[in-house]
Structure 1
Amino acid sequence: MNNPIRRIAHLDMDAFYASVELLRYPELLGKAVVIGGRSVHQPVMREDGTREFAKLRDYVGRGVITTSTYEARALGVFSAMGMMKAAQLAPEAVLLPVDFDSYRHYSRLFKKAVASIAPLIEDRGIDEIYIDLSEHDEETRALATRIKTAVSEATGLSCSIGVAPNKLLAKICSDLEKPNGLTIIGMDDVSMRIWPLPARKINGIGPKAAEKLTTLGILTVGDLAKADAGLLQDHFGRSYSAWLGNVAQGIDDRPVSTSSEPKSISRETTFERDLHARQDREKLSGIFTSLCARVADDLHRKGYVGRTIGIKLRYADFSTVTRDVTLASSTADAATIRQAAGECLRRVPLEQRLRLLGVRVGALSKPGSMDDMQEEIQGELFLAQPSDDRA
């Protein structure tokens, strides 16, 4: 029996957070709206029944943009941009506070709607999923359209879908006709539809790699596909250059992973002002301990233990470092997490001021599972080793 032709869809909700807010405030449709910042005032109802909204020009303090409507994006305001810079570009944009409870509610709704039609889903976050459509007999465009309709009926929101032979191409395609788009390609379409795109459109080519490619005269995916393999290896190393060569040809063998098990649990916080490791030691220590306690609480609440403890630091210049350590056995104990995270912290430079601190626990398992018991046995064996060769 022949294996079915792979049909992988990537579904991305259109400007998700902003779109949820527009359901709540329909009078903002068609306007530049920004969501994010700290301590943003809720809209106020006037006596005439209309609402008064905060404006970006009036925002004071630290913070970044969480998301923006397409009208705000047209003015140059995008997610992760600093609030002060965004205010210069779009001072009259409406500013709304973040409401993650509402976004999670609509996330559950759209995923449930998709699962009722195509249950083989890989959850990639609050607003995007991969869907394996390979086993469905229905024609691709009709099936994808049915999924889009189901999402719209369940949430009142639009989504964009890309369908391709693999996850790499599907993700690229879902962004080609936003908003409310539907793009379907096969491997024969790669040279026509994918090669003209900027190389940075490939998920996995970050800003630094894109900048290095540009210095080599490699601007598009097509340029990358035709680049000399030796040149790429000289500048990017054997592993990454081999990956670049494959993805430029549209090759990606990754399966759609339908497991809902989380890979890690983390907590992080961005400070109101940059903190210094020595001058603000007491404050940083309290924040650090609180993050470890909150991660431990999350582990207990979700029923996990973890073996890899890590930290994340973002400096005042926005550069970021991470460190982690693997324990002999898994844990969900706050004190143990704090001690291991502290070891990681001692391995990073602390001369610069800090703007963000995070703690992560990975290599998760369920207490009493085979993985957990195996780790416990290995830990006991490790601890039981004699300190020298004496009998």
Structure 2
Amino acid sequence: MARCVAHLDMDAFYASVELKRYPQLRGLPVIIGGSAEQQPELFNGEPRFAKLKGYAGRGVVTTATYEARAFGVSSGMGLMKAAQLAPEAILLPADFSAYRRYSNLFKTAVALVAPRIEDRGIDEIYIDLSDSAEDIVTLARRIKQAVRESTGLSCSIGVAPNKLLAKICSDLEKPDGLTLLSMADVPARIWPLPVRKINGIGPKANQKLAASGIFTIGDLAQVDIAFLQARFGRSNGCWLYEASRGIDERSVVTHAEPRSISRETTFERDLHARRDRPILSEIFTGLCAGVAEDLQRKGYAARTIGIKLRYEDFRTVTRDITLPVPTANAAVIRKAAQECLRRVSLEQKIRLLGVRASGLCSETLAQSADMSQQRELPLAVPDIR
């Protein structure tokens, strides 16, 4: 193949990390989600795990083991719905610091074998293998072995002529799969799949296609481009037409500057700014500290700090403030985010709170602009009024 792109996807990533911590749960239905309240309690030195049965709250499933997925549990599903499907499943809280650590481990290991990598998130990457002189199957197996040796976890890899097909086929033989696909394989292996398997076709587009009698990628490939453009617009219609035929000219982007860095959390229950002030203040501080940590780890400073609030009626507001000097300091970020909070109404209960840093630049450049005064600011917990 002139172009050769691999998509590497870690298998049930968050759940797999938790199973390394609690190997006694292997083979059991385990769901990751909820809050720190689901942390296992120690009894005579042994952890006691909470079950999903009787769960009350609006937490969502972050991920689940394959044993839990067999009951119909899926990522993004409400935990109360999951409790109906798999009441005996074990519920564990998400530990994102651990997941980021394992993410860095597997990406570093892959880069030593095949350095042309596009980072697509905490648990997936694209790898450009076009210039490799090594047999592709042998190279893909070396990559999988490097991931296993560095993390103890498995991954699935799809290798195809482009990113679109590579992402689809990395999901065909999970877990621990290795799938190779050529353009000649598209009719037999890709066309029978549901249209939602194309990355970029979401629930609304899937519903709209179904209303036109288009359920599989093969159905989509048989539709005239004019029909698609009439219903989805000129650009989207053209994209759907090409995607159904496995056409994708996007290159593997090995370096891209982020536009922003953010952290947000949805609460288990709606919180009130005054009555739940200690809880909100602690969460607010944690979000600001998390954004600062992400900035420092990636070597950036931010000129603009913003907040995001979603009220109990699902109305969402954002506010931001531009600083005179870029920062990656937690205290400065908290102070700026608090100024943003003063510009929004806090009379209604809040269901989501987020902090965002944008206007990014190299932290080295920011330091040259004299950040010494910022770094000496006190670390007092800000109030949410």
**Shared fold, TM over 0.5:** yes
- Taking the aligned partners of 2:320 and 2:228, their CA distance within structure 1 comes to 32
Question: Equivalent residue for 1:301?
Answer: 296
Match for 1:29: what amino acid? R
Label 1:363 to 1:134 Cα distance change in 2 as closer, same or farther (>3 A).
Answer: farther
Question: Equivalent residue for 1:114?
Answer: 110
**1:44 aligned to which of 35, 42, 45:** 42
Q: Any idea what SS the aligned residue of 2:53 has?
A: helix
Label 1:111 to 1:266 Cα distance change in 2 as closer, same or farther (>3 A).
Answer: same
- Taking the aligned partners of 2:20 and 2:294, their CA distance within structure 1 comes to 34
- Contact preservation (8 Å) 2:8, 2:125: yes
1:81 aligns with 2:77: yes
Question: Equivalent residue for 1:357?
Answer: 353
Root mean square deviation, CA, Å: 3.6
Match for 2:76: what amino acid? A
Q: Any idea what SS the aligned residue of 2:266 has?
A: strand
Match for 1:22: what amino acid? L
- 1:155 shift after superposition: 2.0
- Contact preservation (8 Å) 2:321, 2:336: no
1:272 aligns with 2:268: yes
How big is each residue's C-alpha offset from its partner over 1:135-176, in whole Å with a ceiling of 9 and x where there is no partner?
A: 111111111112112222222211100001111111111001
- 1:65 shift after superposition: 1.7
- Contact preservation (8 Å) 1:275, 1:354: yes
Question: Equivalent residue for 2:29?
Answer: 32
1:366 aligns with 2:368: no
1:21 aligns with 2:10: no
1:185 aligns with 2:169: no
Identical-pair percentage: 57
1:65 aligns with 2:58: no
**1:8 aligned to which of 2, 5, 11:** 5
Question: Equivalent residue for 1:381?
Answer: none
- Contact preservation (8 Å) 1:158, 1:180: yes
Label 1:27 to 1:68 Cα distance change in 2 as closer, same or farther (>3 A).
Answer: same
What aligned pairs does 1:1-391 form with structure 2 within 5 A after superposition? 5-38=2-35, 39-46=37-44, 51-259=47-255, 261-274=257-270, 293-294=288-289, 297-298=292-293, 301-302=296-297, 303-306=299-302, 312=308, 314=310, 331-332=326-327, 334=333, 354-366=350-362
- Taking the aligned partners of 2:71 and 2:127, their CA distance within structure 1 comes to 33
- Taking the aligned partners of 2:256 and 2:145, their CA distance within structure 1 comes to 25
Match for 2:137: what amino acid? R
Q: Any idea what SS the aligned residue of 2:262 has?
A: strand
Match for 2:38: what amino acid? V
Q: Any idea what SS the aligned residue of 1:116 has?
A: helix
- 1:248 shift after superposition: 1.5
Match for 1:63: what amino acid? G
Q: Which moved more, 1:256-265 or 1:236-245?
A: 256-265
- 1:130 shift after superposition: 0.8
State the TM-score, normalizing by the size of structure 2. Answer: 0.80
- Taking the aligned partners of 2:232 and 2:275, their CA distance within structure 1 comes to 39
Question: Equivalent residue for 1:387?
Answer: none
Match for 1:269: what amino acid? T
- Taking the aligned partners of 1:12 and 1:300, their CA distance within structure 2 comes to 25
- Equivalences, count: 361
Label 1:291 to 1:19 Cα distance change in 2 as closer, same or farther (>3 A).
Answer: closer
The answer for unaligned runs of 5 or more in structure 1 is: 374-391
How big is each residue's C-alpha offset from its partner over 1:199-248, in whole Å with a ceiling of 9 and x where there is no partner?
A: 11111111111111111111111222222323222222222222212212
- Contact preservation (8 Å) 1:307, 1:328: yes
- Contact preservation (8 Å) 1:295, 1:359: no
- 1:129 shift after superposition: 0.9
Label 1:82 to 1:315 Cα distance change in 2 as closer, same or farther (>3 A).
Answer: farther
How big is each residue's C-alpha offset from its partner over 1:231-273, in whole Å with a ceiling of 9 and x where there is no partner?
A: 2222222222222122122121222122264332102121232
